[in-house]
Amino acid sequence: MNGTPKDIDPASELREDEEESSLPELDLNDAPAGTLAAGRSAIARYVKHAPSAPGVYRMIGNKGEVLYVGKAKNIKKRVTSYTRPVGHDSRITRMIAATVTMEFVSTATETEALLLEANLIKRLLPRFNVLLRDDKSFPYILITSDHWAPQILKHRGARTGKGHYYGPFANAGAVNRTLNTLERAFLLRSCSDSFFEARTRPCLLHQIKRCAAPCTGEIDFAGYSELVRETNEFLSGRSVSVHKQLAKEMDKASAATDFERAASFRDRLAALSAITSHQGINPRNVEEADVFALHQAGGYNCVEVFFFRTGQNWGNRAYFPRADRTFGASEVLGAFMAQFYDDKPPPRLVLVSHEFDERELLAQALTAKNGRKVEIGVPQRGERKDLVLHALANAREALARKLADTSSQQRLLKALTKTFGLPREPRRIEVYDNSHISGTNAVGAMVVAGPEGFRKNQYRKFNIRSADISAGDDTGMLREVLQRRFKRLLEESPRIKTTGDALAAELTGEPGEGDDQPWPDLVLIDGGQGQLNTAQETLAALGVTGVPLVAIAKGADRDAGRETFFMPGRTPFKLPPRDPLLYFVERLRDEAHRFAIGSHRTRRKKDIREAGLQEIPGIGPTRKRALLHHFGTVKAIERASLSDLSTVSGINAETARKIYEFFHETMP
């Protein structure tokens, strides 16, 4: 477990019966800052005030950044071990040398300390911890409980709404497949409440036998409540009993010669069978479990996680946690799991590929946190062992693909460095673009890429605020975005050297280390000479120098492959049409364009919801009312086809076209 560093020689740890007087006498106040002696001296000063109780400690650097978060059964004894002159490997030595101050938080028990440690690591991202890098939340299936006719839908994000949540699913595809089948099997509605209330006749989903249509009384309250109960039972793991009950009802209907009703039960049974038969590997004797398998190679780690619920495989996901090379598989896996379950409910059974020292402690913590017994096991034989081996094979393949992609990425970065004359290979590339329609809802976007690909958790959007920017003034928008970005950067992370050499000196060459450096090694701008000049002037006004700038102008007719590159002090140039580097730069630019457009659309849709459909040319209160009565919600209007819009009373073909184009217009 990373909170209890196992790379410290056990002989150097204090024994439980050692007295405080055994602390080493240090007189290192005059040691140069940043040295091992200075770090030991700083730690020794804080040891005097450390509590002799369970809790969490933080080691902090000279810029106030948290270097390491650890937990201990006895904080004083654990922290004292760092003052020993010997017994530390290179990672711990560097961590001690960088430490300037420390902070302590006491907890009632060691299990509470473990949970707090995991939470702080995910929030603070300390440099010397194992870090779970996950920028996506898991999707769940939600059956609402705040309406007389509960709705079944996909949910992602905080579980704040009333209802029953089932998951997690590894990805949206697994949720969508399961939802489609559940709708056929249990006929629950998936429409919004406003759409539901506006219906006067059953919708298409009822016609294709995917909804019982409680909105128009095709099924009564008692009948629909029974469907909801069966769905909850099925998703809660009682799928066999639900299957038997449906089969029994089908036989009863058949015996009563009610063949239409029997056929309905037959179709629902077929849909249930499709769920269990279309999931790949399915365990026979494991109803609910998560399976973790870790593989290490080339200084990288891959943790493959499989999710099994109701005896079905709900998908898998690969993670690549950042960790120092000195961490073993057991330490990485233990630290990863504590962070993984920080914001997710665990199942009753968790299977892992490696034993780790705090397995029982983590099981106790998860049990206390979730109010039900959680077992964490390392299977040695049988079906459970097969599940772990299957996950391990997937982890091995995922890491092999990751290493291949990383190798290709490194070759592209070397070519980028040579072509653009950069001082060193970029570890952080920032790409800027903006999106608007005639200046309205203008949004600037920044995407970030590095040696391991796009870093989506570091993307940023900028709502353009300046009132003096005229409609369509792209250079003015770029100026505002760069001013806000680099002004904040100067405030939060002032550079010692404008060339970035100081940052380069901090890199150790370990996989992933240095990925979080805040200053870009290269800035790419979507535009031509005008945008480049604006960027130069903006950075110069802020006193920022030494940041390479490149503007990418689209080719004639905006054709990809004919871009022109503009750089300060160089003649504009092009790359060969089939050059892999050109494709790489295009991919960076297109990602910024995609993010900018998505941010703009989100803001525009919000304005539409707030201002009403009158924002659409030709739509007044009467037509707005007709559209909402027909479709129920603005979202449904947005999704409607041109032919569907034309069927609304009072909407002619020309108005339907305007509505459709308003929601589907291609952004600049």
pLDDT tens figures, 62-97 = 888 899 999 999 999 999 999 888 778 888 888 999
Judged on CB neighbours under 10 Å (0-12, 13-18, 19+), 505 is exposed
User: Which region among 149-153, 295-299, 555-559 has the lowest average model confidence (pLDDT)?
Assistant: 555-559
Highest mean pLDDT among 275-289, 499-513, 537-551: 537-551
Q: Quote the pLDDT of residue 22.
A: 41
Q: Quote the pLDDT of residue 354.
A: 92
Q: What is the C-alpha separation between 59 and 101, in angstroms, rounded?
A: 6
Give residue 560's pLDDT band: very low, low, confident or very high (50, 70, 90): low
Judged on CB neighbours under 10 Å (0-12, 13-18, 19+), 351 is buried
pLDDT tens by residue, 361-419: 999 999 988 888 999 999 998 888 988 998 998 898 888 878 777 778 888 899 999 99
Q: Quote the pLDDT of residue 10.
A: 36
| Whether pLDDT at 38 is above 60 | yes
Q: Quote the pLDDT of residue 444.
A: 84
Q: Quote the pLDDT of residue 67.
A: 92
322 or 510, greater pLDDT: 322
Q: Quote the pLDDT of residue 605.
A: 63
Q: Quote the pLDDT of residue 124.
A: 86
pLDDT tens by residue, 252-266: 777 777 777 777 777
pLDDT tens by residue, 614-639: 567 677 777 877 887 777 767 677 77
**If you average pLDDT over every residue of the chain, what do you get?**
79
Q: Quote the pLDDT of residue 131.
A: 85
C-alpha separations of 165 from 32, 117, 410 in Å: 55, 27, 42
Q: Please, what is the Cα angle at 415 between 410 and 417, to 5 degrees? A: 95
pTM of the predicted model as reported, rounded to 2 decimal places: 0.61
Ordered by where they begin, the domains of the chain are: 10-124 (3.40.1440.10), 139-277 (no CATH), 289-400 (3.30.420.10), 421-602 (3.30.420.340), 613-664 (1.10.150.20)
User: Which region among 259-273, 311-325, 344-358 has the lowest average model confidence (pLDDT)?
Assistant: 259-273
